Amino acid sequence: MSDCIFCKIVSGEIPSDIVYESDSVVAFNDLNPQAPFHILIVPKKHIPTLNDMTEEDRELIGGILLTASHLAKENGFSEVGYRTLFNCNRGAGQTVFHVHLHLLGGRPFTWPPG
Ligand code: AMP
Ligand code: ZN
């Protein structure tokens, strides 16, 4: 989608700190990190929200989650703990309408979140 900021990151049209890339996903550092590690994992395919994922995307969503655990291990916070989060729609705080998994690590997290 031409006006989507994460599509532009995927295509390289706008710069980002890409930390991981596969055939189907890209992971990059969040511009406004909420933890020492705050990475966004996005599908290369433009999908606006989690609600728009279908049976066809089953493998893709699995790949996004496996990327999160891979990056948590690689960055050394898989055992101490980390948080993964999809915000779905404005009421949950979604501001960029291209599905992304937040991966946060490197500090303690409370539950429920504030
Ligand atoms: P959400 O509120 O779940 O839609 O999250 C959007 C996230 O994208 C926020 O944490 C922003 O800090 C982050 N973000 C927005 N623009 C960029 C960008 N150009 N590069 C990296 N992260 C971004
Ligand atoms: Zn997009």
Which tens digits make up the pLDDT trace of 50-92?
999 999 999 999 999 999 999 999 999 999 999 999 999 999 9
Measured in angstroms, how far is the CA atom of residue 57 from the centroid of ligand 1? Answer: 22
- What pLDDT score was predicted for residue 21? 98
For residue 85, the ligand 1 atom closest to its alpha carbon is 3
Dist. CA 43–CA 22, nearest whole Å:
10
Dist. CA 90–CA 80, nearest whole Å:
31
Number of structural domains found in the chain: 1
Q: Point out the ligand nearest to the CA of residue 104.
A: 1
**Digit-coded pLDDT (tens) for 2-44:** 799 999 999 999 999 999 999 999 999 999 999 999 999 999 9
Does residue 111 belong to any structural domain of this protein? no
Dist. CA 54–CA 56, nearest whole Å:
5
Does residue 14 belong to any structural domain of this protein? yes
- What pLDDT score was predicted for residue 91? 97
List pocket residues of ligand 1, CB cut-off 6 Å: 5, 16, 28, 30-32, 40, 87, 93-96
Measured in angstroms, how far is the CA atom of residue 94 from the centroid of ligand 2? Answer: 13
Does residue 112 belong to any structural domain of this protein? no
